[in-house]
Structure 1
Amino acid sequence: MPPIAMLLSVLVAILHLWFLVLEMALWTKPLGLKTFRMSPEKAQTTRVLAANQGLYNGFLAAGLLWGALLLKDLRVAAFFLICVVVAGAYGAATVSRRILWIQAAPAALALVCLVANV
């Protein structure tokens, strides 16, 4: 696997592990409230949904790490990067444009490096 693509894939995985922590453990805490711009009441009523979302982010991180570090397989890494780009684009269209830059753009950059064999 190309070194820059591998590095970027691992960074995207680390981002998704952070999303897991934010959504599963910090959702109703001050950092979670500030990050997601929510009231304590809204956070409390949506915490189970957020935890579910965090779990999915953890699976994306696991897939990226599996493809990039363990298998060093371009196809596996590309699949999970595409999943992240699609999830980020959907989130940007339905929730907040910030998601495009925070989630989709880094994955798209890693995917470009992977395809360009960089």
Structure 2
Amino acid sequence: MFKNIAKDEMNLQDKPMSRFVNFNEWIFEIKTIRAIRVSDYGQPYSAMANINIHGESAFVDSLMTKSEQEFARIDAKVISEFLRQLGIEQVQFERFKNNQPRLHSVSLASEPHKEHKAKLVSVG
């Protein structure tokens, strides 16, 4: 579905990221993500997306871009790869086209990737 992109083009990490952080006697789980398309944090961004995670699935909505810059396949590929590194297996993108909601599902489990297991990361 997406064109092949070299790892260095997407600034990918080699190690999977954890969705779980152990801090004192609490475990924090990443369930909601706000993603922005920008080179440097704090600068004006050209696109944004809200991502909600439930188990091994993610739902991406509120895809908004500046008027001149469309949300492109490369953007969906980058979001999908980020979510794959979090151990997500299924992603649904919701977009509005002609004032109608449209869902597009992507199976990350069927694409080649490293095995991801939930792990705890201690902080402090």
Compute the TM-score of the two structures, normalised by the length of structure 1. 0.29
> Per residue, is there more helix in 1 or in 2?
1
The structure number with the bigger radius of gyration is 2
Q: Which has the higher contact order (CA 8 A, sep 6+)?
A: 1
